[in-house]
Structure 1
């Protein structure tokens, strides 16, 4: 028998868990009851006790999405898995996707479409801006897409894309509307059915304040029919909605084993949905707006400038702040982290080194946390500026 190599020394040491206040664009800190739920005993993927919890999760997703769609599930994986599920199911060879790009997440979806070999057209706006109704309609006329993809809460630029009327516009041109609400769902008004959204997804680790690993997604009747009438098989067995809908009890048939779901993540997101339901969506929306306004006011007082000037298109869940001239953006982030264990985010894409991103989501969205992040940010600016002199 071959000699077994020794185990790594690092595994004999306890894991290090520093308690941080996560005030970046995600993930958020989890409420204690959500963490406690994730530590509950294991159940099998088809045990009746577990499928009951899955049904409760479905009901919670329908609530936060404001939808009655039958095809409403959690995809196993982070928000990217839900994004990939939408891409793989709703598009096939011969289709054309129109992707709105005003930050990293539009770019990411366009890349997913390209990797499938699907024709992808893009509609561009600078990061920190949103698309107008008129330019969307012009692009729909020009490209005649099968699907339009928009990011509701673009965490790269801190914008909130207006969606009312876009669904009806898409349907006028025989196009489906896909919306990424990972950095907005639960924190701002969002009405899937009323606004004619055909596919909507979000992540667990933002406003829901649960561990990533189970990502909500819902398909309208139009979107479901698009999947059912495909001429080719969905290229991923794992993300095939025909299988996922059955596994989640959405098709009226006996559940069949598809994969072993992330049991602990399902427990956690079930509890996070319960927390949001107890608070109420309207109260959550009001809380996020109030805390964001406190943050805007405080940032202005300490001399910082927001990337998004128009308050009506700011995403209250993620605020993007310009790095002042002469300030080392990285030193400020390191100071808040090391001195106070407060995390704020750096820029992404074209905004790397030019902005900071402050998240106010779910459990972390409190006036006390706003005051904390303002205080440590002001101190970090003063200290790091002095150190450069």
Structure 2
């Protein structure tokens, strides 16, 4: 049976075997895909709740924390971002956003929907925000929450976080970090950095599919969220007499309710996404089995090789070398080269996907990722070789094999 576009509606899904070397998602580890094919269980089955407890234990070292409240939010990485912000912030709260790219702007957009009073402390795209600028903004604005992205794939920059938690604690503010693009590939040290809430996703360095979002919360953040719930309940009781409405705008993303589900109480909130939980569990097992230090070193080697190869091809790498993410590299599209035609040729001729860009960088740079299951020597070398061919076809002068040779030398440097 075909639809109006001539598509076979009952044909078996058989996607091309593409090598996803953009800013994410990336190819999932085969062990993760196998784990996701396991049989489903009921949400209160003791085997299922046992797996939930295992997930909590497995993700604590990945987040660099001993936090009791370390769990999953069902949904893409953005689900955990929104759950965090909607549960921490009420309308009128002052929130400072450390903004150095597209995903800092996303935080401001979500906070604006909540009704927060938002101020940003900014850096140009391709740079990060100095700690003293954040300190000055905190002193000036007196926020209740400070929010930032760790690695912003739009600019390929990683914001330094050492010292941020101490600044926030001294000011009586809670801290939130979106580590979607770096969790499992660059160090996340929630406890050492003193960060109250950190969220991630599976589809980048953890080598899984999008659809489950790990999160960890400090005791201080948990206490704030639970205390807020008690206030909310009082407001709801007052509805009968004064018409006051509840403050939390979401049931699905209410962290207090989700935490009750992940606690010993097992209070029903939603039906856990079983297959995604299996996948998230296996992502963590793969990462910890490799060893986090070894995994971080592998991502650093892949990023170093990618950057060296691009430069050896005569391309100009985007952004500040001192604060570059290890897993995503931005590179300027050469003058006279059609960037989209190159991306299309990479996909059609080599089954390799590389990324385009957002906002002020749209049409100016490509973004090449090497993360998770794809942060491997041969995948980096194959990608550089294919890009060389596509550039030559566009008339850009590239010495044959130079990029791959430089990448090989840089991998073990």
Which of 225, 236, 252 is residue 238 of structure 1 equivalent to? 252
Tell me what 2:68 maps to. 70
Tell me what 2:40 maps to. 42
SS of alignment partner, residue 99 of structure 1: strand
Tell me what 1:80 maps to. 78
Residue 303 of structure 1 pairs with residue 310 of structure 2: no
Check conservation: 1:317, 1:361, Cα contact below 8 A: yes
Distance 1:309 1:83 in 2: 26
SS of alignment partner, residue 190 of structure 1: coil
Q: CA deviation at 1:254?
A: 2.3
Tell me what 1:328 maps to. 338
| Uncovered stretches (5+) of structure 1, i.e. residues with no partner | 1-5
Check conservation: 2:302, 2:327, Cα contact below 8 A: no
Q: TM-score when scaled to structure 2?
A: 0.89
Distance 2:341 2:183 in 1: 32
Residue 384 of structure 1 pairs with residue 394 of structure 2: yes
Deviates more, 1:234-243 or 1:352-361: 234-243
Tell me what 1:338 maps to. 348
Residue 257 of structure 1 pairs with residue 292 of structure 2: no
Q: What do the CA deviations read for 1:255-297 (whole angstroms, capped 9, x no partner)? A: 1221112111111111111100100110001111111111111
Distance 2:276 2:336 in 1: 43
Check conservation: 1:22, 1:343, Cα contact below 8 A: yes
Check conservation: 2:157, 2:320, Cα contact below 8 A: no
Residue 247 of structure 1 pairs with residue 258 of structure 2: no
Q: CA deviation at 1:385?
A: 2.8
Tell me what 2:98 maps to. 100
Q: TM-score when scaled to structure 1?
A: 0.94
Q: CA deviation at 1:7?
A: 9.1
Distance 1:209 1:248 in 2: 24
Tell me what 2:377 maps to. 367
Q: What do the CA deviations read for 1:81-139 (whole angstroms, capped 9, x no partner)? A: 01001110110123111111211111111000001111111112111110101110111
Distance 2:10 2:212 in 1: 30
Distance 2:188 2:267 in 1: 32
Q: CA deviation at 1:228?
A: 2.0
Q: What do the CA deviations read for 1:195-240 (whole angstroms, capped 9, x no partner)? A: 1001100001111111111100111111112212224453211111
Check conservation: 1:73, 1:244, Cα contact below 8 A: no
- Cα RMSD of the aligned pairs, angstroms, is 1.6
Q: What do the CA deviations read for 1:122-171 (whole angstroms, capped 9, x no partner)? A: 11211111010111011101111111111111100111111101110111
Distance 1:210 1:13 in 2: 25
Distance 2:318 2:265 in 1: 51
Distance 1:46 1:211 in 2: 24
Check conservation: 1:72, 1:245, Cα contact below 8 A: no
Tell me what 1:213 maps to. 211
Which of 296, 299, 323 is residue 288 of structure 1 equivalent to? 299
Distance 2:39 2:345 in 1: 40
> How many residue pairs were aligned?
378
| Uncovered stretches (5+) of structure 2, i.e. residues with no partner | 233-246, 397-413
Tell me what 1:3 maps to. none
Tell me what 1:200 maps to. 198
Q: 1:378 to 1:176 in 2, by over 3 A?
A: same
Distance 1:369 1:353 in 2: 25
Distance 2:218 2:273 in 1: 25
Which of 134, 139, 160 is residue 132 of structure 2 equivalent to? 134
Tell me what 2:359 maps to. 349
Q: CA deviation at 1:36?
A: 0.8
Which of 271, 274, 279 is residue 285 of structure 2 equivalent to? 274
Q: CA deviation at 1:241?
A: 1.3
Q: CA deviation at 1:74?
A: 0.4
Tell me what 2:326 maps to. 316
Check conservation: 2:201, 2:214, Cα contact below 8 A: yes
